[in-house]
């Protein structure tokens, strides 16, 4: 272990409600990031990490889908990062430093957002350590605007900045793009919902895995899901993926790829509506399980 992070484990607030884990023996390190300073519509994703963790503590750890207890892999939950609202760039740099420690220690980062901008901090850490990865981006929106409201670092520009770090990015579940993205050929790396509806799942999975060579970083903006199942997002778009469809795609990817890192972002909890929080927690659990017990991790 190269350096001990100052963000210590919280035994009473661990993801999935598991007993306090040992950092050194854990395979997965959970980093909650309650940040939503660049949100332009519905705020509240800063409450997402706590909502996911709270819901996860009420899940059964035995997975019917996987036939095992996924938490047995070793999962260590860090203390939530303190948001740096001085600038998005400073927040991104802070995230990068924390994720760099996780990577140096040979762990798999699981980032809980927070708005989608947090993804960029993780990707900067991978790039700084010369990690050769492809990015699989589940989202209703392409997030490829060069800038928004005069800033290059916004939730709607995160994939434009990611493209400056890594060339292999495949976007899945898209149903909203800006005019410039539509014109510049970026569509070639996008799976639109209107096209996915006419494709077999095997074809969808093949498209994704062929466009994402090597090990993969998976980023999930929860608005990729249909609002009927996931209303608790900042910018809901109709006609999204169903949960079972998303999990079927992720399972197929996990059978062919190794996981470098994962983030789940943009949960904006709605008071007294806990099902979306639970869904997000289940998504994290099953995604880890499929990757850990299929191809595995880097």
Low-confidence ranges of the chain (pLDDT < 70): 1-12, 40-41, 148-150, 185-188, 295-298
Confirm if 101 and 29 have CB atoms less than 8 A apart.
no
**Per-residue model confidence (pLDDT) at position 296:** 52
**Per-residue model confidence (pLDDT) at position 150:** 67
Global pTM exceeds 0.85: yes
Distance, in Å, from the CA atom of 105 to the CA atom of 68, rounded to the nearest integer, reads: 26
**Per-residue model confidence (pLDDT) at position 36:** 87
Query: Closest by alpha carbon to 35, among 112, 110, 93, 113?
Result: 113
Domains within the chain, CATH numbers bracketed:
11-292 (3.40.800.10)
- CA dist list (Å): 17 to 38, 57, 76, 126, 154: 30, 4, 11, 28, 32
Can the peptide bond before residue 114 be classed as cis, meaning omega within 30 degrees of 0?
yes
Report the interhelical angle of 243-254 vs 275-292 (nearest 10°).
20
Distance, in Å, from the CA atom of 228 to the CA atom of 241, rounded to the nearest integer, reads: 10
**Per-residue model confidence (pLDDT) at position 1:** 47
Could you tell me what percent of the chain has a pLDDT over 90?
76
Residue 27 burial (C-beta neighbours within 10 Å; 0-12, 13-18, 19+) = middle
90: Cβ contacts below 8 Å, ≥ 6 apart: 84
Strand locations in 107-258 (E):
108-113, 133-138, 169-174, 190-192, 215-221
């Amino acid at each position: 272990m190269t350096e001990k992070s100052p963000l210590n484990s919280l035994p009473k607030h661990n993801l999935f409600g598991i007993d306090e884990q040992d950092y050194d023996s854990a395979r997965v390190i959970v980093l909650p990031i309650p940040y939503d300073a660049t949100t332009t519509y519905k705020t509240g994703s800063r409450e997402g990490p706590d909502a996911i963790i709270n819901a996860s503590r009420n899940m059964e750890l035995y997975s019917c889908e996987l036939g095992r207890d996924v938490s047995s892999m070793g999962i260590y939950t860090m203390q939530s990062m303190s948001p740096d609202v001085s600038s998005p760039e400073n927040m991104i740099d802070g995230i990068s430093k924390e994720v760099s420690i996780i990577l140096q220690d040979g762990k798999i980062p699981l980032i809980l957002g927070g708005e989608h901008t947090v993804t960029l901090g993780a990707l900067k850490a991978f790039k700084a350590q010369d990690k050769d990865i492809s990015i699989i981006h589940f989202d209703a929106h392409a997030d490829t605007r060069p800038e928004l409201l005069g800033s290059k670092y916004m939730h709607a520009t995160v994939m434009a900045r990611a493209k400056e770090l890594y060339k292999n990015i495949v976007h899945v579940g898209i149903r909203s793009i800006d005019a410039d993205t539509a014109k510049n050929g970026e569509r070639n790396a996008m799976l639109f919902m209107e096209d996915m509806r006419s494709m077999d799942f095997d074809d969808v999975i093949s498209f994704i895995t062929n466009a994402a060579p090597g090990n993969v970083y998976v980023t999930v903006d929860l608005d990729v899901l249909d609002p009927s199942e996931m209303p608790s997002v900042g910018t809901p778009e109709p006609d999204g993926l169903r949960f079972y469809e998303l999990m079927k795609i992720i399972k197929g990817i996990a059978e062919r790829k190794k996981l470098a890192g994962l983030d789940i972002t943009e949960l904006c909890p709605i008071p007294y509506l806990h099902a979306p929080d639970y869904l997000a927690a289940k998504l994290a659990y099953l995604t880890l399980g499929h990757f850990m017990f299929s191809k595995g991790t880097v």
